[in-house]
Amino acid sequence: MKQSFSRFALLALTVAAVPALGTSALAGGDAWQHAGVLSSVVKVSTDGVTLNQDGAEAPIVATVTPATQVGGICEDCGMFMTFGSTQCTGTCKMCSCSDKNGTCVSWAHLKDVTWQNMLKALPVGTGLRTVFNTPGNPASGLKDIYINRREVLLPVTGLAGKTTPELTKLTSSVGAASAELTGNGTLLKIELKQDWTAKKEAQLVTILGKVGGNVNLPTAVASAK
For the stretch 39-95, pLDDT in tens is 999 999 999 999 999 999 899 999 999 999 999 999 888 899 999 999 999 998 888
Q: Residues 70, 22: contact at Cβ < 8 Å?
A: no
Does the pLDDT value for residue 213 go beyond 90?
Answer: yes
pLDDT mean over 158-181:
96
Strands annotated E in 135-201? 137-157, 176-182, 187-192
pLDDT at 218: 63
Identify the H or E element spanning 8: helix 7-17
Whether the full predicted model's pTM is greater than 0.85, yes or no, is no
pLDDT mean over 118-138:
94
Domains of the chain: 7-148 (no CATH), 150-222 (3.30.70.100)
